[in-house]
Every structure is written in structure tokens, then in C-alpha cells.
Copies of this chain bind each other. A is one copy, B any other.
Amino acid sequence: MISAAPPIRIEDPSDSRIAAFLSIKERDLTGRQGRFIAEGTVVLRMLAAAHRSGRGITAEAILLLENRLAGVAELLAQFPADVPVFMADARVFDAIAGFNMHRGVLALGRSDAMPARDALIAALPAASLVLAACGISNHDNMGSLFRNAAAFGVDAMLMDASSCDPLYRKSIRVSVGSALTLPFAREGTAAELIERLRAAGFAIWGLSPRGETDITEIPPSPRTALLVGAEGEGLPPPILSAVRTARIRQRPALDSLNVAMAAGIALYQVASANGRI
């Protein structure tokens, strides 16, 4: 049975047991050394789910403002007892975390046991929806992509190595924790990604304002991958010429949709067409 560790009170911000939480805003932990920071109760709940799923995301430690303890007791019980829970009063907490945007609920996680891209693709179910992305450099957009992907039943999110880290603090927050629960890999080039997805039987559709097919006309397919490109430029021409392309109708003479917005609309259509939502 799962039961939380009894909370350990921290009196000294320099206590070595909470060293990893020090000044998280300044350091903005980004999965470097396979570590990330999760903030707030909603994300903590997703971290618990990710930890239990055994897919490579684990919780290392939890740090709470003491007055939040009672409110999250049920949530703490979802973590195994070997995940230490620290608590501190407001003065000590702010001295540790260095800012007050965390609402008193922080967790430190590890992601270093996640499956690599090819293993992840190999493990996808026969009927799958994948969101692939290349060159996504904005953490808000990355978080929004995950949030939308989760809402519309995406099985895995696959990014090229030039995309930013979904486990950056802000990206996790914007994803409402979906960056922790939705399987993903971030490695290699977009060209390799397309090749691997094609070998695995995926119909690959690149989203572009100049796409050939209206998104409502994308035919159902047991395995569909939507591919989106960087904010601003979109998908590079060599990639667009290597896949089928789809467009979202909109008023002309305006900037194209935000990438997460475009992905959300297209995922909604494709997930609907495939009876996944």
C-alpha cells in the first residue's frame, strides 16, 4: 500500500536535504541532470500519477509550506513513503525557493529513466495518435502543446533535439502537468523522426498555412502523426516536401495561428475523425 512519508520540518534554508530546491527561479531547473521542478497541487497530482505509472518519471522530494500540509494530505498519500516530504514556514520556504509564485507546493522530480525515441515509438499501440514537433523554442508553447495533446488523447509527443525541454519549470506549469504524464522523447532531427514514424506505419501530416489538404479532410488512419514547426517560420521546406500537408482555414492577411492553437484545432479534428474523443 502507498503511504506518504511523515513530513520533516526544515528550519534552516541551507539544510543540505533541500539543497536541490534552492533558488529555483534563478536556476530554472530544466531537466539538466535529469531533474525538474513541479509547482502547485494540480501538477503535484500529475507527478504522483507519473511516478506510479513507472514510465521513467519519478518524484524525488516534496517541499511544502506548512500551512498547505493539511490541504494536500490526500495527495501526499499517493506518493510512496520513500519520497521525503519536507515542510517549512513561510520565512524559511521563501528563503529556500527564492520567490513566492509556487503557492507553497513544490516537488523535485527525475526524468532520467525515460524511454528513448525509438523505444517509445516501438511501444505505441496499434491505434495511435502522435504529435511531432520541431524547433519549438518557447516554453509556453511547449507546455500548451502538451496540454492540448493530452486533452485530445495523444499517445506520445515526439520532438527534435532543437526543441526546448518540456520539463522546464514553466513548461510543466503551462502543460498543467501533462508534460509529466504524456510519454515523450526529444532527440535527433525532424527528418529522422519522420523516417521512424513512417517505418512504424504512421500517416504523417505537416501543419502549414499553405498545406494542401484541409484539416477536416485528413482521412482516418489507425496511426496518425501531426507534425508542427517553429513559431514564426513554421515547418522548413524540406520537411514540408517530405510529408503530406494540411491547413487550417482562417481569415487571410493575418498572422498565422499560434503553434499550440493550430495543433489543438488539428488534434481535435483528427481525434474526432478517428473516434478517439
Contacts and interface: CB of A to CB of B under 8 A. Distances in A.
A62 interface: no
Interface in A172-199: 176, 178
A260 interface: yes
A144 interface: yes
Describe A's contact surface by its main secondary structure. Answer: helix
Interface stretch (A25-33, A160-168, A245-253): A245-253
Nearest to A153: B251
Contacts of A251: 150-153, 277
A265 B148 CA distance: 11
B152 A250 contact: yes
A254 interface: yes
Contact of A257 (B148, B153, B255, B272): B148
Contacts of A264: 257, 261, 264-265
B255 A268 contact: no
B257 A147 contact: yes
A258 interface: yes
Given A216-B272, A264-B264, A265-B265, A277 B249 contact: yes
Contacts of A152: 250-251
A73 to B, nearest CB: 21
A42 interface: yes
Interface in A224-277: 248-251, 254-255, 257-258, 260-261, 264-265, 268, 271-272, 277
Interface in A59-98: none
A147 B272 contact: no
Nearest to A143: B258
A271 B265 CA distance: 13
Interface in A124-163: 140, 144, 147-148, 150-153
9 contacts: A144-B258, A144-B261, A150-B254, A151-B257, A251-B277, A257-B264, A264-B264, A264-B265, A265-B268
Interface of A: 42, 140, 144, 147-148, 150-153, 176, 178, 216, 248-251, 254-255, 257-258, 260-261, 264-265, 268, 271-272, 277
